[in-house]
Structure 1
Amino acid sequence: MRESFRWFGPPDRIALSEIVQTGASEIVTSLHEIAYGLVWEKDAIAARQTLVREQSGGRLEWTVVESLPVHEEIKLAGSGGRGDLETLYETYRISLRNLAACGISTVCYNFMPLLDWTRTELAHPLAGGGTSLRFNMQDFAAFDVFMLERPGAEADFAPDVIERAKAWIDASSPADRERLLTAIMAGLPGAYERYDVPGLREVLARYKGITKDDIRANYKRFLEAVVPTAEEAGIRLCVHPDDPPRPVFGLPRVVSSEEDIAFILDAVPSVANGLTLCSGSLGAGPANDVVAIARRFADKIHFAHLRNVAKDADGSFEEADHLDGDTDMIALLRVLLAEERRRKGEGRADWQIPMRPDHGHELLADLGRGTHPGYPLIGRMRGLAALRGAIRAIGAIDGSA
């Protein structure tokens, strides 16, 4: 598998020269500074490629885009969505062509309404030292029911979760509630301002009455508009699953399960319409068998995020070590490596699947460094080293790709 590392561009507190020392050879990044709905021009793409090469001493190459964002108007329901969708579709198509012209062919994106990933703790203390990201169901319910006061929110949680959420709110200080808001807002894409509670209520109101079927219909319309261009340009689009794979603040989620993925891939059948296999996002869903999902859709996996989570019975979860947690990472790697062997046997030049160690614990010198939540240097390097060792061991046993 091709080893990559996510970098958030020039503002990232982790230098490309440091990423070189992890042993990765490829960079996963985006032009985060470009507002949604605007074209990624060739000059801007090429400039970022040059920056990556120069600041890494020629040892790193930008090969995977994460993400080329889908404008929120495309996700909103209505007759063909809202706003001038054809302009937004064409902007997306031009950006895809420009990426292809610069030699970048893997584009990860998501279709999560408003929020990307959602956590309630950004620095949960670990027993052995360090911190992790964590999603506490009772804290999330406390925010949704008692801080946001979303109508009907109580129905989305078990009675015992509501009871514990009320106890949390009653015992919380203003600083506790502000920390919870900050953690939840950390999941907003970089192009978005962070909201206070009234501001979040206001933006959520735009989705009032929108159903999962509405979001699916708009997603299918988006795929019909852009996948033919991606296929023509040699681009592999690969959707990222919802994180967590459940409705958030009443917002429907449409990439949360095996059935959801099948709908997406069948909506517009094409080699250009594929999947980012995120073992952590899918693994947070109690009903999801990540290994079985990977096996079913192996030929459509264009990119892999490898991480693990440990789940609680109430739906809470936290980031685990990459080879631990609830997903059998060894079995998952076997599926991915077997698929690489199959592709290589077909004579494909692009038989290797790019992967990155997703998320990581804050450890040692990363503590207090202020890196992007979930993306410290040392924790991800540790994860990459563990995955690298497992991949080589599996290759020795099963037959190297």
Structure 2
Amino acid sequence: MRMTFRWFGEGNDTVTLDQIKQIPSVEGLVWSLHDVPAGEEWPMDKIEEVKRQADRYGFHLDVVESINVHEDIKLGLPSRDQYIENYKRTIEKVAQVGVKVICYNFMPIFDWLRTDLHKASGDGSTALFYEKARIHNIDPFELVRVINQNSTLTMPGWEPERLAQLTSLFEAYRSVTEEDLWRNLEYFLKEIVPVAEQHGIQMAIHPDDPPWSIFGLPRIITSQQNLRRFLKLVDSPANGITLCSGSLGANPDNDIIGMIHEFHDRIPFAHIRNVRVFDNGDFMETSHRTQDGTVDIAGIVKAYYDTGFTGYARPDHGRHIWGEECRPGYGLYDRALGIMYLWGLWDAYAKQAAKPN
């Protein structure tokens, strides 16, 4: 397991590279160019600037998250071909700074969805929260206002240029079925995966968050069965999965440990986080500790250990603790605690395996 840490860039993150450097055994940054609109080709000078920043602290840039997929590709519009060409050229460019994995998603309009970014917990911390009943009653435009209240930091998946077209996007998706989305994803993969193969890069799709339809929009990367179907669309080692235990874990029916064992050779990148799922369908981010949520984090780490996982991992959304003011879900303290919990599990399994019979 190779530990990484998501970083949003200088001037766009409350966490500094100096702070990340002090977290034990973090070797790389999970990065992106968050100021480049989805669909545009990434400028090489901006890519190289991030490389220089990482080099000063000895971090690699092996994992990029995300090179966002333009909505026209998901919709299957004739204009998708130009955006796919831009995507190919961006793959070629990031390969020049050592990228090995590209995490992306294929979720219509919204990359992720929560109803409260600072839900208070009994211990005084706050965290991301999803209230099922509210989603059925809230206007999507009101939700956009809530999500973008902190305008000083970018919110991945909630970029202003995308959300400014919310009305037209909903209209465009009105007739798009899940099968349409599958076909459009296959078209994209057949164009992109050969380019990734040429450059030694693995594409790693992120599951839908949450893993079910919202606002009537189709969602397809939601379950073990659908991941199995996805991998068969283009059967190549370069077509892989970012297995996110938090996204998939919002549905208690998902067997994440089973997914790791089945798909382990197609998981180059792991997001490891915990959520507490309530009986009414609500869920809330928790600490990474197994007992604090519904997701069996200890079992998940053991599954990675038992399958010989050598890919990249990062702690995912953390709580906001000790008064930290940060991008929702992406503070320093709780994610650093999460890393040490994950390493503690990993080291314990390694020590146990080393004991003589």
TM-score, normalised with respect to structure 1: 0.82
Instruction: Write the distance in 1 (CA, Å) between the matches of 2:156 and 2:137.
Output: 19
Question: 205-214 vs 43-52, which deviates more?
Answer: 43-52
Per-residue deviation at 1:46?
1.8
Instruction: Write the distance in 1 (CA, Å) between the matches of 2:203 and 2:240.
Output: 6
After superposition, give the CA deviation of every residue in 1:243-294 in whole Å (9 maximum; x if it has no partner): 0000011110010111111111000000100000100000001321111111
1:390 pairs with 2:330: no
Instruction: Write the distance in 1 (CA, Å) between the matches of 2:144 and 2:104.
Output: 26
Aligned to 1:103: 98
Alpha-carbon spacing, 1:125–1:388, altered in 2? closer, same or farther (3 Å)? same
Aligned to 1:44: 46
Instruction: Write the distance in 1 (CA, Å) between the matches of 2:121 and 2:147.
Output: 17
Aligned to 1:260: 226
Aligned to 1:372: 327
Aligned to 1:69: 68
Per-residue deviation at 1:61?
2.4
Q: What is the SS of the residue equivalent to 2:15? A: coil
Aligned to 1:335: 303
1:31 pairs with 2:33: yes
1:303 maps to amino acid: F
Contact 1:121 1:180 in 2 (8 A): no
After superposition, give the CA deviation of every residue in 1:138-165 in whole Å (9 maximum; x if it has no partner): 221220xxx45xxxxxxxxxxxxxxxxx
Aligned to 1:15: 16
Q: What is the SS of the residue equivalent to 1:17? A: helix
Instruction: Write the distance in 2 (CA, Å) between the matches of 1:266 and 1:107.
Output: 19
Aligned to 2:214: 248
Instruction: Write the distance in 2 (CA, Å) between the matches of 1:270 and 1:180.
Output: 37
Instruction: Write the distance in 1 (CA, Å) between the matches of 2:142 and 2:45.
Output: 41
1:360 maps to amino acid: G
Alpha-carbon spacing, 1:180–1:137, altered in 2? closer, same or farther (3 Å)? farther
1:272 pairs with 2:238: yes
Per-residue deviation at 1:31?
0.9
Instruction: Write the distance in 2 (CA, Å) between the matches of 1:361 and 1:266.
Output: 36
Alpha-carbon spacing, 1:46–1:139, altered in 2? closer, same or farther (3 Å)? same
Instruction: Write the distance in 2 (CA, Å) between the matches of 1:227 and 1:109.
Output: 13
Instruction: Write the distance in 1 (CA, Å) between the matches of 2:286 and 2:166.
Output: 30
Aligned to 1:137: 132
Contact 1:119 1:184 in 2 (8 A): no
Instruction: Write the distance in 2 (CA, Å) between the matches of 1:9 and 1:291.
Output: 33
Contact 1:114 1:188 in 2 (8 A): no
Unpaired runs of at least 5, structure 2: none
Contact 1:185 1:195 in 2 (8 A): no
TM-score, normalised with respect to structure 2: 0.91
Aligned to 1:349: none
1:13 maps to amino acid: T
Aligned to 1:183: 147
Alpha-carbon spacing, 1:110–1:125, altered in 2? closer, same or farther (3 Å)? same
- The match for 2:78 among 79, 83, 86 is 83
Say what the alpha-carbon RMSD is for the aligned residues.
Answer: 2.1
1:288 pairs with 2:254: yes
Aligned to 1:321: 287
1:265 maps to amino acid: L
Alpha-carbon spacing, 1:202–1:91, altered in 2? closer, same or farther (3 Å)? closer
**How many correspondences in the alignment?**
347
Q: What is the SS of the residue equivalent to 2:29? A: strand
Alpha-carbon spacing, 1:185–1:83, altered in 2? closer, same or farther (3 Å)? farther
Computing the radius of gyration from Cα coordinates, the structure with the larger value is 1
Per-residue deviation at 1:339?
2.4
After superposition, give the CA deviation of every residue in 1:331-351 in whole Å (9 maximum; x if it has no partner): 11111122226xxxxxxxxxx
1:9 maps to amino acid: G
2:266 maps to amino acid: K
Instruction: Write the distance in 2 (CA, Å) between the matches of 1:385 and 1:85.
Output: 42
Instruction: Write the distance in 2 (CA, Å) between the matches of 1:209 and 1:262.
Output: 26
After superposition, give the CA deviation of every residue in 1:161-197 in whole Å (9 maximum; x if it has no partner): xxxxxxxxxxxxxxxx96784138986625334858x
Unpaired runs of at least 5, structure 1: 149-176, 342-351
1:274 maps to amino acid: G
1:40 maps to amino acid: W
Instruction: Write the distance in 1 (CA, Å) between the matches of 2:43 and 2:163.
Output: 30
Per-residue deviation at 1:95?
1.1
After superposition, give the CA deviation of every residue in 1:307-348 in whole Å (9 maximum; x if it has no partner): 01111122111112212222211211111122226xxxxxxx
Contact 1:357 1:380 in 2 (8 A): yes
Per-residue deviation at 1:102?
2.0
Q: Percent sequence identity over matched residues?
A: 35
Question: 281-290 vs 17-26, which deviates more?
Answer: 17-26
1:381 pairs with 2:339: no
Instruction: Write the distance in 2 (CA, Å) between the matches of 1:262 and 1:94.
Output: 28
